[in-house]
Copies of this chain bind each other. A is one copy, B any other.
Amino acid sequence: MKTLNPLDATWLFVDSARTPMHVANLSIYSLPEDAPDNWVGEMVAELRQTRAFAAPFNLRLTSARLKSIFPTWSETDDIDIDYHFRHSALPKPGGERELGVLISRLHSHPMDFTRPLWECHLIEGLENNRFALYVKMHHSLVDGVGGMRMLTKMLSFDPAARDLPPPWSVGTGRDGPRPPRPDAGRTPWDKLRAGLRRQGESLPELSRAFGDIAREAVKHETPDWVLPFQAPVSILNKPVSAQRRFATQHYELDRIKKVARAAGVTVNDVFLGLSAAALRRYLGELNQLPEQSLTAGLPVSVRPADDEHSGNAITFIISSLHTEIADPVERLRAIRASTQAAKEHLQGLPKAGINNYTMLYMSPYVLQMLTGLGGRMRPMFNLTISNVPGPDRPLYFNGARLEQMYPVSLLSDGQALNITSVSYAGQFNIGFTGCRDILPSMQHLAVYTGEALEELEAETKARRAA
């Protein structure tokens, strides 16, 4: 029996029927050349035979009833593989639309807390001889980077490699769950209180950093720097319902790089620019575009290069999406100024104090989730936009080429939309996870993101020519 570390436990604590805290990875494969008709069926049957379970696939909550009070993991070998590994199919024509609808459904289904908290769905019937793998896991077991590592560990750079083991036999590669911290055994609430108390013991540099935030909040000397709670009220920040929508978009990474170079911004800035353009248009059509610009929370890795710990090393910066600006190139440059101001503040911080900084900076957000106040008070930022680095070379599963992969994320009250991208072998893939009842026709957001890149390409080209 193992106690969860407080960060992992938080995901169980805030889990509810309306805000299930599972995340997933959707990967799409093309069949090997000359694959016979029953290739997928045969592979499913073979994978199903592999009943060795690596952590975290062999972990179960010791008591599902106590999940939010005092969660602990137990290892188990008694796993009903037919329950966790599911073979599904798409109706014809098996296009992106049918796949999006099925993923929306699968991602809306709650997990069964009496079993290990993962599901693996192999989906056949995608047009052009493809199949998909949707691997869903509770966020208390894995984070975005861990999930990516898990998936890539399952795959091979070698197209000729066969008999690759299924994800549940590979695991994250750690010997077990994250080791408990010295203060394990206390509830997430205890830990949160302790974290807030520790702020009093911060380093002098850190105090200066908070001084900067406080001064800026009053004097507003750096107009590009967005502080928490400067987000406008929007439909993106209502309490969410239990059902999800999922949509995808993907580009050649080179197209984004080209626009970034032409406009003198980063790839991530272009990603924000595309999201901003799509949101401006989508919310505008719904008559729900706030006058003041939307703001986005951006998770940023702050792990030093020589840090080998597997634990959490993420902080957030907040950037303006400048959805009040009509011109796409001007908007992109304003976004650039905003992300730079936020990063400069972050870089001025001492590395040693970064966790305490994150805790204080993010604590109102965490508190909103823990207290269930999300969607009922002013949002810290309007939505999360995240960029997860993926493998840069083509990967294969038993000879099937990994064509694309997408993250499927989670929502909480007050955060009804998540846009996360992942790069892979020269691609830039975006997954949109949204609340079904707040965001009608969310597929349009993905389409508009695609059209926004065409617009930026045309505009940057035209301005350079002029």
Verify B242–A112 contact, CB threshold 8 A.
yes
B38, B109, B243: the one contacting A92 at CB < 8 Å is B38
A49-93 residues with Cβ-Cβ distance < 8 A to B are 80, 82-83, 86-93
Asked if A202 lies at the interface with its beta carbon under 8 angstroms from chain B, I say no
Report yes or no: A91 in contact with B40, Cβ–Cβ below 8 A: yes
Using known A-B contacts A80-B436, A83-B436, A110-B110, determine if residue A89 contacts B125 with beta carbons closer than 8 Å. Answer: yes
For A82, the closest partner residue in chain B by CB is B101
Known: A80-B436, A114-B242, A242-B114. A89 touches B89 (CB 8 A): yes
Q: Which residue of B lies closest to A37 (CB)?
A: B92
Pick from B87, B88, B243: contact of A112, CB under 8 Å: B243
Is A351 close to B, CB under 8 A? no
Cβ A241 vs Cβ B80 within 8 A: no
**A241–B91 touching, CB < 8 Å:** no
**Residues of chain A from 232 to 270 with CB closer than 8 A to chain B in the complex:** 241-243
Alpha-carbon separation in the docked complex, A243 to B115 (Å)? 11
Please determine whether A92 and B41 come into contact, CB atoms closer than 8 angstroms.
yes
Tell me the complex Cα distance, A124–B88, Å.
12
Q: Is the CB of A90 within 8 A of B89?
A: yes
Nearest CB of B to A370, in Å: 21
- Is B124 a contact of A91 with CB atoms below 8 Å? yes
A92–B124 contact, CB under 8 A?
yes
Q: Which residues of B contact A83 (CB under 8 A)?
A: 243, 436
Residues of B within 8 A of A437 (CB): 80
- Residues of B close to A105: CB separation below 8 A: 86
Interchain CA distance A82-B245 in the complex, whole Å: 11
Measured between beta carbons, the chain B residues less than 8 angstroms from A92 are 37-38, 40-41, 89, 124
Contact between A91 and B89 (Cβ–Cβ < 8 Å)? yes
A241: chain B residues at CB < 8 Å are 114
CB distance from A119 to the nearest CB of B (A): 10
- As a 0/1 sequence over residues 90 to 102 of chain A, the CB contacts with chain B under 8 angstroms (1 = contact) are 1111000010011
Complex Cα distance A87/B91, Å? 7
Looking at A40, A92, A109, the one whose CB has the most chain B CB atoms below 10 A away is A92
Q: How far is the CB of A78 from chain B (nearest CB, A)?
A: 10
Given that A80-B436, A83-B436, A436-B80 are known contacts, is A91 also in contact with B125, CB under 8 Å in the complex?
A: yes
Residues of B within 8 A of A87 (CB): 91, 98, 101
**Among the interface residues A83, A88, A89, A110, which one has the most CB atoms of the partner chain B within 10 A?**
A89
Return the CB mask of A25-39 against B: 1 if under 8 Å, else 0: 000000000000110
Q: How far is the CA of A267 from the CA of B232 in the complex (A)?
A: 70
The distance in angstroms between the C-alpha atoms of A89 and B86, with both chains bound, is: 13
- Report how far A411 CA is from B91 CA in the complex, Å: 30
**Additional pairs, 8, CB under 8 Å, beyond known A41-B93, A91-B124, A125-B125:** A40-B91, A41-B92, A86-B105, A87-B98, A87-B101, A89-B91, A110-B110, A114-B242
Residue ranges of A at the interface with B (Cβ–Cβ < 8 Å): 37-38, 40-41, 44, 80, 82-83, 86-93, 98, 101-102, 105, 109-110, 112, 114, 124-125, 241-243, 436-437
**What are 22 A-B pairs with beta-carbon distances under 8 A?**
A41-B91, A41-B93, A80-B436, A80-B437, A82-B101, A86-B105, A87-B91, A87-B98, A87-B101, A88-B89, A88-B91, A88-B102, A89-B89, A89-B90, A89-B91, A89-B125, A91-B124, A91-B125, A109-B109, A110-B110, A114-B241, A114-B242
The 3 closest A-B pairs by CB, nearest first: A89-B91, A89-B89, A87-B91
